Copies of this chain bind each other. A is one copy, B any other.
Amino acid sequence: MIDTLRNVFELHGFMGIETRAVETGASLLKKGETSKQIYLLSRLQDVGHESDEPLAERLGLHFDLTVPLSRYVVEHTGDLTFPFKRWQIQKVWRGERPQEGRFREFVQADIDVVGNGTLPDHYEVELPLVMLEAMERFQAFGLPQATIHVNNRKLSEGFYRAIGLSDVEAVLREVDKLDKVGEDEVVKSLMQYCSANREQAQACLKLAEIREYEPHALREKFDALCHSYDVDTTSEHYALAIEGVETVSMILREAEKVRSHAVIADLAIARGLDYYTGSVYETSLEGAEELGSVCSGGRYDNLVSQGNKKYPGVGLSIGLSRMLSYLLHTQGAHANRQSPATVLVGVWNEENRDASNAIARTLRSRQIASDVAPTAQKIGKQIRYASRLGIPYVWLPADPNAEPGSENATDQVKNIITGEQMSADVNTWVPASEYGKQEIVVGSESAPAQ
């Protein structure tokens, strides 16, 4: 799956980077929300004295790939060509309570584009489309159809302010819980923590109900909602909201040209993180909505800065481990065989191991992965060894003691799944394409094994 992602990302001109697993406490603690989940490091010899070092200077494991990117861009700004498009696939760590789909160590796959000073809007539709292309490739591994849900911070902020709510971050934080706690609880929280009255809280829910594929309908629904709450359409707040509506509309329009109905405007999307300033994305899988978002991100104009220079960016992150866990445990994805070897070369006796090694060497030089039997036990046992590893072919070298002209006097290759056996020349033989390589298969469509 990582190979697939890398291929898609590089086909789109993203450059791969890898950053160290650790960042300083100062970098990691910028984002308040996840701070409790940070793993700090200490050397064994410092046990008992960990707290002597200020938190900001201690090292901790990164919990996402955005903090490292932000440091990377600032450190390498002189060497980079902007807009800088990078992919990064690495492990990240969070001190969470582990459960299905939620791990303490997991792999994230990120793409971001970062501009120097400015960044054109078209990236706000191009990046989600790259992720959609990647997820389409995963359909071969059992992934259902993915839909990217898009909203815009300007839209939310403009609307909340227009109806008189000023603590935008707090409102977003509560609306973000809709899926988990339900409408009643969110209304309660909005009233309790965000100084909303019941009508304002209801307005927030109404906004969150809007889902739309079609740009004009989106604008109509939004304007109707504003109208029903007496929003002043000459206000700066309304203007800000309309900026957001227009970006969302642009995304719907452009995405529709490439992938029909793969992107939907969903004004319930809030995202917990407060560094987003424009588009925000989450991704649902058809029939697996309970899994939560498998690919999220957004536009951030102020995350990366150096002095008075700003580096606005757009980025999305695939939660690869969560997705893989779903494919393995719900969709039955699995490797078609344990061993990458396509051929097990048999060994008649230890004195003739050389001959078997030579056959394996030739096959490997032709890019046919080959193992050699561990011991010269009875050929039935060697076949059983291949079978346990899922190796589809056993190569039987010409038996040095065979009668000339007999079957055993030439190399034979046996497909242990079909039982077929035939004479074969090590310089020209090729495996049938369905047995050629180790790969991911779905459900019961398995290859050999026992």
Contact = CB atoms under 8 A, between A and B. Distances in A.
Interface of A: 10-16, 20-22, 35-45, 47-48, 50-51, 55, 60-61, 81, 83, 85, 91, 93, 95, 105, 115, 120, 122, 126, 257-258, 338-341, 344, 350, 353-354, 357, 360-361, 364, 367-371, 374-375, 385, 388-389, 391, 438
A44 B340 contact: no
Nearest to A80: B338
13 contacts: A12-B360, A12-B371, A13-B371, A21-B21, A21-B91, A36-B43, A40-B41, A42-B42, A44-B60, A47-B55, A50-B50, A81-B385, A81-B388
A407 to B, nearest CB: 26
Copies of this chain held together in the complex:
2
B36 A370 contact: no
A364 B105 contact: no
A447 to B, nearest CB: 15
Given A50-B50, A338-B15, A389-B81, A95 B21 contact: no
A188 B350 CA distance: 46
Which applies to chain A's interface (DSSP): helix, strand, loop or mixed? mixed
Nearest to A61: B41
A177 to B, nearest CB: 22
B120 A15 contact: no
A364 B16 CA distance: 17
A44 B85 contact: no
Contacts of A350: 122
CB-CB nearest 5 A-B residue pairs: A13-B371, A13-B341, A10-B340, A43-B95, A11-B364
Nearest to A60: B44
Contacts of A55: 44, 47
Contacts of A22: 105
B44 A36 contact: yes
Contacts of A341: 10, 12-13
Contacts of A42: 39-40, 42, 50
A368 to B, nearest CB: 8
Contacts of A357: 126, 258
B40 A44 contact: yes
A48 B47 contact: no
Contacts of A371: 12-13, 85
B47 A36 contact: no
A338 B81 contact: yes
A10 B369 contact: yes
B37 A43 contact: yes
A41 B368 CA distance: 43
Nearest to A55: B47
A347 to B, nearest CB: 10
Contacts of A20: 105
Contacts of A120: 374-375
Contacts of A388: 81
A32 to B, nearest CB: 12
Nearest to A437: B10
A300 B56 CA distance: 43
Contact of A339 (B15, B93, B360): B15
Contact of A48 (B12, B51, B81, B374): B51
A172 to B, nearest CB: 24
